[in-house]
Amino acid sequence: MERNDWRMISEGDLMERPIDFDLIRNARFPEGEFGLRMIEGMNQGHAALTDWGFSQVESWGKTILDVGCGGGAALRKLAEALPEATFWGCDISPLAVSASVKMNRENTLNGRMTFVVCGVSELPFESKKFDTVFSVESLYFWPNPKEDLKEISRVLKPGGRFMTVLEMVGGRLSQRHQAIAERLEMFCPTAEELENLFKESGFCVEKILHDTERGWLCGVGMKMN
């Protein structure tokens, strides 16, 4: 297996290569050597998507949580842009959390960042703690997206924001991505489904943006009370 096999999950330039499901399943729960490769790949392959998602958030505040933090690249980038903020990251994969700590060692040691192993359904944080919660490419794997968004709302302050950004969008999946989504039991919403999910979970929808050229989808919602 070549080092760049991870790109199958995020780019379309390897369409002729057979899908390696032993590797791809680590997108849901990274573990072992394949998990390390997937984490490295996500850190690199999601960079542009992450930048686009970040650009849609008008105000971050000073307490920020990354749900499904993966290898920690998104938080590292955000910490450089927001020197006064404090950050938390969580992931169900101990391997991913370990990778996040390693990538952000200085900020972890000085107390600017805290990482925990947990799932989105039961966040180990007090209510109304965060100004912003965001998630890059993890909504696909949430056990119950509607209830999980309500849990995110619980830990947000009134007026706080949630942002999610995705590159596998319902109704526009290639045959290859459709096969991956089915095998991994991924929830890949359309723009309309994402908007409805926000509303049903009690968020005021600020933005639903679908970049059809790049196949990216971003949603931003505000907690009202």
Q: Please say if the pLDDT value at position 11 is more than 70.
A: no
Q: Please say if the pLDDT value at position 93 is more than 70.
A: yes
Q: Please say if the pLDDT value at position 15 is more than 70.
A: no
Region of residue 173 (left: phi > 0; alpha: psi -120 to 50; beta: else): beta
- Report the C-alpha gap between 93 and 171 in whole angstroms: 29
Which residues neighbour 199 within 8 Å (Cβ) at sequence distance 6 or greater?
205
What CATH number does the domain containing 42 carry? Answer: 3.40.50.150
Enclosing domain of residue 116: 3-223
Residue of 98, 54, 56 lying closest to 74 (CA atoms): 54
Domain count, the chain: 1
Q: Please say if the pLDDT value at position 5 is more than 70.
A: no
pLDDT digits (tens, 9 = 90+) for 100-148: 999 999 999 999 999 999 999 999 999 999 999 999 999 999 999 999 9
Q: What is the pLDDT of residue 17?
A: 73
Q: Please say if the pLDDT value at position 13 is more than 50.
A: no
pLDDT digits (tens, 9 = 90+) for 139-178: 999 999 999 999 999 999 999 999 999 999 999 999 999 9
pLDDT digits (tens, 9 = 90+) for 58-69: 999 999 999 999
Q: Please say if the pLDDT value at position 91 is more than 70.
A: yes
Sign of CA dihedral 219, 221, 149, 65: positive
Angle between helices 145-155 and 191-200 (to 10 degrees): 50
- Report the C-alpha gap between 194 and 103 in whole angstroms: 31
Sign of CA dihedral 186, 55, 6, 178: positive
DSSP secondary structure of 18-44 = PP-HHHHGGGTS--HHHHHHHHHHHHH
Q: What is the pLDDT of residue 9?
A: 43
Q: What is the pLDDT of residue 44?
A: 94
Residues 27-56: b if buried by 16+ CB within 10 A, e if exposed: bbbbeeebbbbbbbbbbebbeebbebbbeb
